Chain A
Amino acid sequence: MRIPCPYCGPRDSSEFAYLGDAAPRRPADGDAAAMATYVYLRDNPAGPMEELWYHAYGCRAWLVVRRDTRDHAVTGARLAAGREASA
């Protein structure tokens, strides 16, 4: 599997560390139920999803990678930095 890092170009997935679903956002402090959901509950889609990958053996940036969970086809990647501002 190859991941198209926007800084480095296409790279083997072995250069990356996987975190998981990019969708969850940390809730405000004090909301225990929302925090439990944020920490524990994940969707498990069959199809395209956005995930966080860290380019550990490359530019050391976090990426949001769009990957199809059925066939591992990677259809895009962007830097995660600044995603809150642009979302």
Chain B
Amino acid sequence: MADLVHRGGYAGLGRRVGSGDGVVAVEQAGLAAATVIARRGKAEAAAARLGGHLGLAVADAAKRAVSPAATVLGTGPGTWLVFGGEDPGFVAGLAAALAGLAAVIDQSDGQAVLHLSGARLPEALEKGVRIDLDPARFTPEDVAVTSIAHIGVTLWKIDAAPTFAVALPRSYAGSFRHWLEASAGPAGLAVVSD
């Protein structure tokens, strides 16, 4: 049987390295990902079980919980987007741990993830994000599901540098990159994918 290779959503769009003086975008390929959707009335129990399984404190809120092995993002009431590393059993482990409490859907080939950083990132994000990203209002504990250029995205903050991460359905990766190049290109954008 052929081994399947994970191809990130930005793969094949070409590595484009500009100056990177303003913004650097780095694709995060090969991550395991899943949506976890609690069954009716089971949101609190699912949050507790999810947290117990991953060794994290998981809330039913638009918050991030992170460990070296996993990132849990609150994306809606009783709903989380969970990223793991390259462990091929990560999603199956989640599904087994949450049996009876939540539906677990493998999104490893569904979500395209970029890490964004750089001195001029805030002004680039201002061109597409309609929520308040002031450091006092949006911290590394927060998660936002919102839209950028009409593309539904999950946005979170990895550190106070700031480094942001943005996940979106992989079929929109090309459109998102178009927005990114238009919005951050003049500031000096380097895109590292592939």
Contacts and interface: CB of A to CB of B under 8 A. Distances in A.
B152 A59 contact: no
Interface residues of A, number: 15
A8 B147 contact: no
B62 A11 contact: no
Given A8-B62, A9-B131, A12-B130, A59 B147 contact: no
Interface in B151-191: 152
Contact of B62 (A10, A14, A59): A59
A57 B145 CA distance: 7
A14 B76 CA distance: 18
A81 interface: yes
B77 interface: yes
A57 B62 contact: no
B145 A59 contact: yes
A77 interface: no
Contacts of A10: 131
B145 A8 contact: yes
A35 interface: no
A60 B81 CA distance: 13
A4 to B, nearest CB: 12
B117 interface: no
A64 to B, nearest CB: 14
A5 to B, nearest CB: 9
B144 interface: yes
Given A7-B61, A9-B62, A9-B131, A60 B146 contact: no
A11 B146 contact: yes
Interface of A: 7-12, 14-15, 57-61, 79, 81
Interface of B: 61-62, 75-77, 79, 130-131, 144-147, 152
Return the 6 tightest CB-CB contacts between A and B, nearest first.
A59-B76, A57-B147, A12-B130, A60-B76, A58-B145, A61-B77
